[in-house]
Amino acid sequence: MFFDFQFAKQIKDYYDVVIVGGGPAALGAAVYARRAGLSVLVVEKVLEGGQLNFTTTIDNYLGFPNIEGKELASKMKEHAEYLGTEFLNETVEEVILNGDLKAIRTDSERIVSGKVLMIATGAEPKKLSVEGEKELAGKGVSYCATCDGYFFKDKKVAVVGGGDTAISDALYLARIAESVTVIHRRDKLRAVKSLQEKAFATPKIKFMWDTVVEKFEGDQYLRAVVVKNVKTGETSKLEVDGVFIAIGLTPNSGLVKDIVQLDEQGYIITNEWMETSVKGIYAIGDVRKKNVRQIITAVADGAIAAIHAAENYF
């Protein structure tokens, strides 16, 4: 009997560029850094591709109309891998400044150094911070429609939010659930017009305007959402089996909060070359302070940072 053993590539102690995070920004940076002849390590704790893995159909990434998020993530990783990028699936616990070198320590106590460090840790969904949210998370309260939507087939669900993510989630859930109620604190949506038009034309999707969530009710599982109209102050109860919260993001900048300059919301401040307040450390993608957070702008961040690093540090 023959066995085909595949051994993981040995991770070295030093790379020219170490990238923390594995989303589009990280993979874009990896491609451009490798094309410049630099050695690159991408450290991603879960799955390369970042939030793409939890996104349904994407129709605004140039050259790939109506592509599934997971497929685009896979293509991006394959491209970076093809050029020689190395990957490590561990959690970075600490960033260490060591003169001209920047080092990371992972949860396996592995230390890897680089001349350039890129922070591409992205952002995570914001919480409502209301009664019952924490207790019922995973028991009817979710932050990822593509992850958990299937569990609510032919059931009543609600989506909290009015931006692109919320309306995309509502459209996705309308294909699965019996009904979808969008709870939005304003009297109009913030999502792009194309998404709004699709949502308004979908019979399964209803809207609760000028409304906020007061609390979630349920014992073992979510049973209802108590909501309040912000104009009248009137409260009411919406009986649903699931609620999907999509109200924005919180930057994952804690790893470097005492090292680089952040804004009041915790986003990393950079210049136009993605440089942070510390020489040799770049921030790219959703974790940095910027006005537009899209896949294409994240990839552009990575490309700009890699080009600048290659020209100025090597």
Candidates 148, 164, 286, 301; catalytic one: 148
**DSSP category for residue 293:** -
Degrees, nearest 5: CA angle 119-121-126: 140
Distance in angstroms (rounded) separating the CA atoms of residues 310 and 314: 6
Euclidean distance between CA atoms 177 and 244, whole angstroms: 12
Establish how many alpha carbons lie within 13 A of residue 128's alpha carbon, considering only the half-sphere containing its beta carbon.
Answer: 29
User: Which of 216-238 are b and which e, b meaning 16 or more Cβ less than 10 Å from the residue's Cβ?
Assistant: bbbeeebebbbbbeeeeeeeeeb
Is 144 among the residues known to form the active site?
yes
Catalytic, 148? Answer: yes
Q: How many CB atoms lie within 10 A of CB 290?
A: 18
Contact 21, 44 (CB under 8 A): yes
Q: Determine the straight-line distance between the first and last CA of the chain, rounded to whole angstroms.
A: 49
Active site residue 147: yes
User: Catalytic pick from 59, 147, 187, 263?
Assistant: 147
Closest Cα to residue 136, out of 226, 62, 207? 226
Q: Would you please indicate which residues are annotated as catalytic (active-site) residues?
A: 144, 147-148
